[in-house]
Chains A and B, each alone.
Chain A
Amino acid sequence: MKRLTLLALALVLSGGVAIADTIKIGVVGPFSGPAAQQGRNFQAGIDAWLALNGNKIGNDTIEIVYRDLPTADPAKSAALTRDLIVGEGVRYLAGYYYTPDAMAAAPILVEGNVPMVVFNAATSAIMNASPYVVRTSFTTWQTSTPMAAVARERGIKKAITVVTDYGPGVDAESAFVKGFKDAGGEIVASVRMPMNTNDFSPIMQRIKDSGAEAVFAFLPSGPATLGFMKAFAENGLKKAGITLLAPGDLTQESDLPALGDSALGTLTTFHYAVSHDSPENKAFVAAASKAIGDPASLTFPAVGAYDGMYVISKMIEATKGKQDAKAAVEAVKGLSWISPRGPVTIDPQNRHITQNIYLREVASENGKSINKEIRTFEKQGDPGWKAP
């Protein structure tokens, strides 16, 4: 009996090599709660990829296991990740909307022999938390830095930065201040706004009084963004000729209908616009719009998830269905492909995605607001990453 059990165990353990297998991918993201829309975009990106490529890689079938993490909660993220690896037996981890969640899950990867593909969390330091982390989204440093050059080229000498007082906000501020000063500009003031600011009028007064020609702003997408953009228009800053510059989080496509005409003309830099003109993107948008149901709610996390699925499929191909996190990560270092956002490469050094950053202007097209790409900064790495 004991021998039989051992034999059975041996068969199960060796089974993954030869016989067709089901490979589980665990996805952690906010599928309910305040950021549910971003979680739905993860799902839409995954579903779009499966719709276009099928769920077979070689002989193996892939299966997605979702875990809901509504708000940034490191302890719960670690628990869900552990449960996915031990309980569900997932071979790949993906998703992670917030930086603290990715940071909390990273230390488990080596022991679990599981690679993680980050679909969103945008802080540079995540890449140093584990050698098994690969990222297909962006960093706030990456998207904010080109804006400094744009500002200087447009003849702006004095700028003020206004950011929400939390990790990515501080990243955006540091990136813009560094780029703008290096290009010979002057930062007249740097204001950090508390997370739960409702009324932005006093901030607008600060901007007016500072004598700056442009304001660089960063807020997490959500209700505060709407309040900020409205306050900017209503307090007459646009009329006073103050230019609003921001990374694209401020004008993500799903918020544009709510922002309305007050957002027109806003300049942003970002890695992806739903309106990006390429055949790859047209195919992606068609599939993802179908997956998400309401096409108006399609926005950037979907493309992070879609490309993340591509990376995972390449990992599975390279390891021929075997569980070998190290080989899987090695296989995608330096991987280049054409994403819906444009040509991209996984940087072999830090495993973060190198991509084009686009300067966009909020414009009205066929009665609909879009982020219209007007200029391309090619092959941008992550300037915020520091070797450990």
Chain B
Amino acid sequence: MQTVLSIAADAVAYGMVLFVISIGLSVTMGLMKVVNLAHGAFAMMGGYIAAFATHQLGVPFGVAIVAAVAGTVLAAIPVERVLYRPIYGAPELTQVLMTIGITFVIIGIANYAMGPSMKTIPLPTILEGPVDIGFRSIAAHKLFAVATGLVVAAAAWLVIERTAFGVKLRASVDNATMAAALGVRTKVVYAVSFAAAVGLAALGGVVGAQLLPIEPYYALRYMVTFLVVVSVGGAGSIPGALLACLLLGAVETTGRYLMPEFGEFFFYLAVIAIVCVFPHGLLGRRG
């Protein structure tokens, strides 16, 4: 029983880390219809900024998170204007080629500027070390990741489903021409959503850095996992992504405990089964 609870706690923690990083991708892919393979690169950029801010500038962890999100968004604004605007509504292959190209450029820059070694982001004392949660102790930064995930999920859902901006965003996605005719400034809506998605990626990069360390190949190494989470959850669905992360986290963690030599067999088996039954993802919008 002890072991079962323990595995469950690990599964939730891992799932929530995945969620924080993947949620921005769910927004770009589901709502903006851009297959953004550079998402991992933006998460990595956030991680690098936080690592640089804490190590070189000596700022506290909280400030580093804000700096990472703000810095990544600032860097992404010109990229959006120049490289992403031409591919909105373009065929998926065009989007894939463009964004994978951006990813390689960012990897090259990171390797050149920061070097090939791993970078860590030192945690404040309160997040360091284990916390006793009754039946076991768990790393405090994992609890922090779970909390961050829950806050992000609630905030994203509220903005998309319950605010005027959310209505405009959904309208622009469903029919950009009609939305524009009705006075929605679709370019601004897209730019803001893109910035938000990139900001979420950066946040995820920093919060998840304890589990997925920052190094130049981060951008490609974990991209498949992020894409899987989005397609299993249903692109554009916040509750879907949350459900997918918890489910896949549970499958992955249990599989690793019971039969590590099977590798990611169970993970991908679950993915295949879910996609067969729900071709649009668990809670995806149809069409």
Assess whether A107 is interfacial by the CB under 8 Å rule: no
Is the pair A199, B139 in contact by a Cβ cutoff of 8 Å?
no
Q: Using a CB–CB distance below 8 Å, which chain B residues touch chain A?
A: 3, 6-7, 10, 13-14, 111, 115-120, 129-130, 137-139, 210-213, 215-218, 221-222, 225, 252-254, 256-257, 260-264
Q: A260 at the A/B interface (Cβ < 8 Å)?
A: yes
Q: Which of B117, B119, B137, B213 lies in contact with A227, CB distance below 8 A?
A: B213
**Complex contact A226–B7 (CB within 8 A):** no
Determine which of A35, A194, A203, A255 lies in contact with B118 in the assembled complex, contact meaning CB atoms within 8 Å.
A255
Note all chain B residues with C-beta closer than 8 A to A209. 3
| Residues in chain A within 8 A of chain B (CB atoms) | 32-37, 40, 165, 191-199, 201-203, 205-206, 209, 222-223, 226-227, 230, 234-236, 254-255, 257-258, 260, 294, 297
Known: A199-B253, A203-B260. 19 other contacts (CB 8 A): A33-B217, A34-B216, A34-B217, A36-B116, A40-B116, A165-B263, A191-B260, A192-B261, A194-B261, A197-B260, A198-B14, A199-B14, A199-B256, A201-B253, A205-B10, A206-B257, A206-B260, A222-B215, A236-B130
- Residues of chain B within 8 A (CB-CB) of A201 are 10, 13-14, 253
Taking a contact as CB atoms under 8 Å apart, the answer to whether A197 and B256 are in contact is yes
The listed residue (A33, A193, A199, A258) touching B252 by CB distance below 8 A is A199
Chain A contacts of B221 at CB under 8 A? 196, 223
Top-9 shortest CB links A-B:
A194-B263, A202-B257, A234-B139, A201-B10, A202-B256, A36-B116, A223-B213, A37-B116, A199-B14
From A198, A202, A294, contact of B254 by CB (8 A): A202
**Bound CA span A205–B8, Å:** 12
Most chain B CB neighbours (cut-off 10 Å) among A35, A193, A234, A255: A234
Most buried by A among B120, B129, B213, B264: B213
Cα separation A297 to B14 with both chains bound (whole Å): 31
Task: Please pick, from B13, B119, B210, B260, the residue contacting A193 in the complex, using a CB distance under 8 A.
Answer: B260
- The residue in B116, B215, B252 that gathers the most chain A C-beta atoms within 10 A of its C-beta is B116
In whole Å, how far is A292's beta carbon from the nearest beta carbon of chain B?
11
**Taking the nearest CB of chain B, how far is it from the CB of A210, in angstroms?**
12
Partner of A199, one of B116, B118, B211: B211
Residue contact A223 to B215, C-beta cutoff 8 Å: yes
Question: A130 to chain B: closest CB distance in Å?
Answer: 31
A223 contacts B13, C-beta separation under 8 Å: no
Chain A to chain B contacts (Cβ below 8 Å), 9 pairs:
A33-B217, A165-B263, A192-B260, A193-B260, A198-B225, A202-B256, A209-B3, A255-B118, A258-B118
Chain B residues with CB below 8 A from A165, complex form = 261, 263
Contact in complex: A202, B253 (CB < 8 Å): yes
Which one of A230, A258, A297 contacts B119 once the chains associate, using CB atoms below 8 Å? A258
Are A203's CB and B256's CB within 8 A? Answer: yes
Task: List, in ascending order, chain A residues with CB within 8 A of B115's CB.
Answer: 37, 294, 297
Residue from B10, B111, B138 in contact with A36 in the complex, judged by beta carbons closer than 8 Å? B111
Are B261 and A202 in contact, with the CB atoms below 8 A? no
Give A258 to B115 CA distance when docked, in angstroms: 13
The answer to whether A227 and B211 have CB atoms under 8 Å apart is yes
